[in-house]
Copies of this chain bind each other. A is one copy, B any other.
Amino acid sequence: MAVTKRVILGRALRSDALRETLLRKRIALPVFASDPLSSVAYAPGEVLLILSIAGLSWYHSSIWITIGIIVLMVTVVASYRQTVHAYPNGGGAYSVVSRNFGRRAGLTVGSALLVDYVLTVAVSVAAGIDNLGSAVDFVKQHDVSCALIVIALLMVMNLRGVWESGTIFAIPTYAFVAGVLGTVAWGAFRGLALQDDMRAPTADFDIVPEQTNLSALAMLFLLLRAFSSGCAALTGVEAISNGVPAFREPKERNAATTLTVMGVLACTMFLGVMTLALTTDVRLAEDPAHDLLIDGRPAGSGYHQEPVIAQVGAAVFGGHSVFFYFLAGATALVLFLAANTAYNGFPVLGSLLAQDRFLPRQLHTRGDRLAFSNGIVFLTILAGGLVAAFDANVNQLIQLYIVGVFVSFTFSQSGMVKHYNRLLGEEQDAAARRRIYRSRALSGFGAGLCALVLFIVLITKFTQGAWVSLVGMALFYGLMTVIRRHYDAVAEELAVNEPPEHLGMRPSQVHAVVLVSKIHKPTLRALSYARLLRADSLVAVTIAVDPDEARELKAEWRRRHLDVPLKVIDAPYREISHPFVKYVKELRHTHPNDVVSVIIPEYVVGHWWEAVLHNQSALRLKGRLLLTPGVTVTSVPWQLHSAEAARERAKRGSRRQAPGAIRRGSGGHRVRP
């Protein structure tokens, strides 16, 4: 089996043999861009949804909002291209901000990113289910359950460690891009060349404005809300800047080019979908049950609003054509893939945060699957909770999403401004300085724009759910501060300030105590090890849980002429740890300057259920002994035949890798070109 696995997965690679695992651009694009590109599936709808509040007549202004979003997108992409060049080792927002603004700002961004990961999962899965539901009725009717099942599947896949490879990302992402661009192209052809009148399924519906006679200020506010909702299109743009090390040489150039391609694709698709939505008269309402009129009557609570992509697809291809199903399927798939990127991104961020001791240390070192497993389960529970709490409603979840995204954008761009300021302080060459000035201007413009969007998001969406994100960020911030403080306190406590003589660390003698329950091979091995120690005193101790057994043990001890004295201690409560710890403490008490070395024979088994049957008392006892000052605990293992199984497992385990490895460009299975 191990051989089959190696054939399929490829051998785990050493750091210096990693070149082959690095990503070509055409694979890197889908690996990193499934998240930002998939935003096209929900962002256009969000704009129309908000505009519907003022009524159909305001739909036309969506084109201006689209232009605004595209300007923002171009700025952000251009700015992140600079980040790629400035921080080729992975210029994630957390690193950039920590380096330029210090720990607190970094931690703020870290918290925002953690919230983002949770919401990437929640929003993407909910949107994916929405799109799948447009093709499959069953999914539509059980959307919350289906979304929870998808999240659970993602968890299981990531816990098991799926066959992580660029190709898996490539197929759905390219299918989605092809589907959307194909729809736009065919739609343009039909509309312009054939002069067909394409009508969305909702084209004949009417919308009751929720608010009429809006003041100019209120209307501006509404337009800003629509704009900020549309900014959901930008989510995930920063991914490439985190993943520069995963690109092939020349890394920076390749990453920057990929970023540009991604930006161009995202803008084209967004613009295309938006234009088609307007020409095919897609009708979306924020509260379709009341505000959407079908033949003059409210749609009612049974009405299920189809996502924009599905409506556009139905208008261009017809609602039962193969192309429609292809588009719906590809959209759903790329959205689930986008959700998966959160599971891949978390270990990367977790590792950085752990390096700075904001998260448990074991998240830092690679390959500790157990640690990441906890993170994966944690992410799943939070995302699943949000999906359940918000009934898998994309519109509501998006309100939470954008906050975190723009917090990190703003901080990250500002960090770049500071970065260029520092460079200016060092650079003398006039031409170079001019380039830096230009770059700084771009980052500054990006930072300002993002800050403006963040401000708009906060004021327009605070009551709609943005506060939930802020609370979440505050909780993460608090948790990480507490963890850091704990590590600092421990480091302080353990630091060596005095010379070792003053630490009472020069014990003069060792008293060895071998714990014996019966005479078998592990006991004999422990005894011979103990003799070898040449301790200053050596005694075997047994706890008499059952007086008869103890008597028998004593007799056998004599019969076998074992040359270590055996001491029998009564266990009035039929429990071994208490009397044994008491004995050890008394021994320490009579020799306060010495060390008591407790030697425990243990047998090692191969399966967890065997572990349940053995060593439990020894484990408890070890825990108690480690709490006792001046005591060391030595396990002398005896491997049972079945331990072979565990050894095999350990070997296999060391060959597996942690999730997210492919995005870190460091390890992982070969990606065949």
List chain A positions with a Cβ less than 8 A from chain B: 12, 14-16, 360-362, 364-368, 370-371, 483, 486-487, 490-491, 493-496, 500, 503, 505-507, 509-510, 519-522, 524-525, 528-529, 532-534, 545, 572-578, 595, 597, 602-604, 610, 612-614, 616-617, 620, 622-624, 626-627, 629, 631-641, 643, 646-647, 650, 654, 667
* A-B contacts, 17 listed (Cβ < 8 Å): A361-B614, A365-B576, A366-B573, A368-B616, A486-B613, A491-B520, A493-B521, A495-B520, A500-B528, A509-B532, A533-B534, A597-B634, A602-B626, A604-B626, A623-B650, A632-B634, A634-B635
Specify which chain B residues have a CB less than 8 angstroms from the CB of A495 in the assembled complex.
520-521
Q: A602-B626, A641-B493 are in contact. Are A362 and B617 (CB under 8 A)?
A: yes
Instruction: Tell me, in angstroms, the Cα distance from A610 to B370 when the chains sit together.
Output: 17
CB-based contact B507/A522 at 8 Å = no
Instruction: Tell me, in angstroms, the Cα distance from A413 to B209 when the chains sit together.
Output: 84
Q: Identify which of A522, A529, A624, A626 gathers the most chain B CB atoms within 10 Å of its CB.
A: A626
CB-based contact B635/A361 at 8 Å = no
Q: Identify which of A360, A367, A503, A638 gathers the most chain B CB atoms within 10 Å of its CB.
A: A367
CB-based contact B483/A496 at 8 Å = no
CB-based contact A643/B617 at 8 Å = no
Cβ distance A662 to chain B, nearest Cβ, rounded Å: 15
Specify which chain B residues have a CB less than 8 angstroms from the CB of A603 in the assembled complex.
490, 494
CB-based contact B654/A365 at 8 Å = no
Q: Which residue of B lies closest to A506 (CB)?
A: B528
- For the complex with contacts A495-B520, A573-B654, 12 further pairs of A-B residues with Cβ separation under 8 Å are A12-B573, A487-B613, A490-B640, A500-B528, A505-B521, A510-B533, A529-B632, A573-B667, A623-B650, A624-B650, A627-B637, A627-B647
Instruction: Tell me, in angstroms, the Cα distance from A503 to B494 when the chains sit together.
Output: 42
CB-based contact B500/A524 at 8 Å = yes
Contact of A360 among B528, B616, B627 (CB under 8 A): B616
CB-based contact A635/B632 at 8 Å = yes
Q: Which residue of B lies closest to A483 (CB)?
A: B613
Specify which chain B residues have a CB less than 8 angstroms from the CB of A545 in the assembled complex.
364-365
Specify which chain B residues have a CB less than 8 angstroms from the CB of A629 in the assembled complex.
639
Q: How many copies does the complex hold?
A: 2
Instruction: Tell me, in angstroms, the Cα distance from A641 to B493 when the chains sit together.
Output: 8
Specify which chain B residues have a CB less than 8 angstroms from the CB of A505 in the assembled complex.
521, 524-525, 528
CB-based contact A575/B367 at 8 Å = yes
CB-based contact A627/B650 at 8 Å = yes
Instruction: Tell me, in angstroms, the Cα distance from A109 to B72 when the chains sit together.
Output: 76
Specify which chain B residues have a CB less than 8 angstroms from the CB of A638 in the assembled complex.
494
CB-based contact A616/B575 at 8 Å = no
Specify which chain B residues have a CB less than 8 angstroms from the CB of A494 in the assembled complex.
520-522, 603, 638, 640
Q: Which residue of B lies closest to A575 (CB)?
A: B367
CB-based contact A361/B616 at 8 Å = yes
Q: A627-B646, A633-B637 are in contact. Are A361 and B613 (CB under 8 A)?
A: yes
Cβ distance A128 to chain B, nearest Cβ, rounded Å: 33
CB-based contact B15/A573 at 8 Å = yes
CB-based contact A632/B640 at 8 Å = no
CB-based contact B654/A577 at 8 Å = yes
Q: A534-B534, A633-B634 are in contact. Are A574 and B521 (CB under 8 A)?
A: no
Instruction: Tell me, in angstroms, the Cα distance from A525 to B611 when the chains sit together.
Output: 31
Instruction: Tell me, in angstroms, the Cα distance from A383 to B496 when the chains sit together.
Output: 56
Instruction: Tell me, in angstroms, the Cα distance from A406 to B155 when the chains sit together.
Output: 48
CB-based contact B647/A616 at 8 Å = no
Q: Which residue of B lies closest to A533 (CB)?
A: B533
CB-based contact B368/A617 at 8 Å = yes
Q: A360-B613, A496-B524, A654-B578 are in contact. Are A367 and B573 (CB under 8 A)?
A: yes
Instruction: Tell me, in angstroms, the Cα distance from A528 to B632 when the chains sit together.
Output: 12
* 3 closest A-B pairs by CB: A494-B520, A367-B575, A366-B574
Specify which chain B residues have a CB less than 8 angstroms from the CB of A493 in the assembled complex.
521, 640-641
CB-based contact A632/B627 at 8 Å = no
